[in-house]
């Protein structure tokens, strides 16, 4: 079994390649939930949904969020009646968000609600939220603080980032399922997801870093040179006083990383890193990358067993 730590774009791209290599039921995904948000009575969990839709063969892989060919009837009508929402939700996507909100309000944990939704959507992979309490990534800009979704969706990332902070009423603790998924895996893959908004929230859950130290962990850099392949990772890394590159990403994960993979095009040389083509422009590149990663994992396992 392979366990992934994932956000909603880079790692899902890699998992799409992995799906050709192994059965879905051999994969477990620990997912960031710090971008979750309640609105219109429903509960948005963008990264959980992207991962679920990927394994349910429903994902819109042009945008890497939402359901392919979804309609926006409810969203447009809400706008017409003067009730615009912070995020545009497709109609079928909204159904999932309504159902999750209902389950949470009825007292189910997010882990339980995700299990239920995954099963109804016929996902064979095990999909686990990082924790069962609410954590929110917030952006501080020009003296005010906003939800990450407001920064990224409403402002399209076009406001200065003074700080990135996490807000929660109780410190996040990894669920027992998360810790078991790390412990029981043949290897853990930290895909090329945003270090500040996708992977760090998972690492901040109590128990995760210690569990990773006892595992074989392979990390794929989301940066090529001083720019991410997509998204706001550069601004967010700089707000944390880190360089926006693979070296700083490696430094962030150094305590538990066994193999660090950087792109063949990356001009920032990282000592000991493995070079692979990580630019997953299509499914074929993602599969080739998955094959190379799996070879590293198999070789390491042979080495340990011999």
Binding stretches for ligand GDP (CB under 6 A): 7-11, 13, 47, 192-194, 197-198, 220-222, 228-231, 233, 263, 278-280
Between 153 and 300, name the residue whose CB sits nearer to ligand GDP: 153
> Which two tokens mark 213?
């130290």
Smallest gap, in angstroms, from Cβ of residue 21 to ligand GDP?
Answer: 17
For ligand GDP, the closer of residues 172 and 232 by Cβ is 232
Residue closer to ligand GDP (CB basis): 108 or 240: 240
Nearer to ligand GDP, 42 or 194 (CB): 194
**Smallest distance, ligand GDP to C-beta of residue 305, A:** 30
* Residue 230 CB, nearest approach to ligand GDP (Å): 5
What backbone torsions phi and psi does residue 225 show, to the nearest 5 degrees? 65, -135
Q: Count Cβ neighbours within 10 Å for each residue of 4-29 and write b for 16 or more, e otherwise.
A: bbbbbbbbbbbbbbbbeeeebeebbb
> How far apart are CB 257 and ligand GDP at their closest, in Å?
16
Q: Are the CB atoms for 30 and 6 separated by under 8 Å?
A: yes
Strand partners, 190: 5, 219
138 within 8 A of 39, measured Cβ to Cβ: no
List CB contacts of 109: < 8 A, sequence separation 6 or more.
132, 175
CA distance 81 to 77: 6
**Least CB distance to ligand GDP at residue 20 (A):** 16
In terms of CB distance, is 13 or 43 closer to ligand GDP?
A: 13
Opening angle at CA 96, ends 124 and 102, nearest 5: 115
Whichever of 98 and 279 has its CB closer to ligand GDP, that residue is: 279
Closer by beta carbon to ligand GDP, 103 or else 237: 237
Which residue's entry shows tokens 């909100």?
101
Strands (E), the chain: 2-6, 27-31, 37-39, 42-44, 126-129, 135-141, 144-147, 163-168, 187-190, 217-220, 223-224, 227-228, 259-263, 274-276
CB of 172 or CB of 228, closer to ligand GDP? 228
Residue 89 CB, nearest distance to ligand GDP (Å)? 16
What's the min distance (Å) between Cβ of 29 and ligand GDP?
11
In this structure, what DSSP letter does residue 225 have?
A: T
Q: How far is the CB of 9 from ligand GDP (least distance, A)?
A: 3
Contacts of residue 28, defined as CB under 8 A and 6 or more positions apart, other chains included, come to 1, 2, 3, 4, 125, 126, 127, 128, 181, 185
């Amino acid at each position: 079994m392979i366990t992934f730590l994932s956000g909603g774009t880079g790692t899902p791209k890699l998992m799409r390649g992995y799906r050709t290599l192994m059965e879905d039921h051999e994969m477990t995904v620990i997912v960031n939930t710090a971008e979750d948000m309640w609105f219109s009575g429903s509960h948005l969990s963008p990264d959980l949904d992207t991962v679920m839709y990927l394994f349910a063969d429903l994902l819109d892989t042009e945008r890497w969020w939402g359901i392919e060919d979804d309609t926006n009837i409810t969203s447009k009508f809400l706008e017409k009646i003067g009730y615009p929402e912070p995020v545009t939700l497709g109609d079928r996507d909204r159904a999932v968000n309504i159902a999750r909100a209902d389950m949470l309000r009825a007292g189910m944990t997010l882990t339980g609600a995700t299990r239920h939704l995954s099963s109804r959507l016929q996902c064979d992979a095990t999909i686990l939220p990082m924790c069962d309490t609410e954590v929110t990534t917030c952006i501080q800009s020009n003296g005010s603080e906003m939800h990450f979704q407001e920064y990224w969706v409403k402002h399209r990332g076009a406001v200065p980032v003074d700080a990135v902070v996490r807000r929660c009423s109780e410190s996040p603790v990894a669920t027992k399922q998360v810790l078991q998924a790390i412990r029981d895996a043949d290897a853990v893959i930290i895909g090329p997801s945003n270090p500040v908004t996708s992977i760090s929230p998972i690492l901040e859950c109590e128990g995760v870093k210690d569990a990773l130290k006892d595992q074989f962990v392979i990390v794929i850099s989301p940066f090529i040179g001083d720019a991410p392949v997509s998204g706001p990772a550069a601004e967010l890394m700089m707000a944390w006083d880190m360089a926006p590159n693979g070296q700083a990403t490696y430094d962030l994960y150094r305590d538990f990383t066994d193999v660090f993979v950087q792109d063949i095009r990356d001009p920032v040389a990282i000592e000991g890193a493995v070079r692979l083509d990580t630019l997953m422009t299509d499914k074929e590149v993602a599969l080739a990358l998955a094959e190379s990663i799996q070879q590293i994992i198999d070789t390491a396992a042979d080495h340990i067993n011999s």
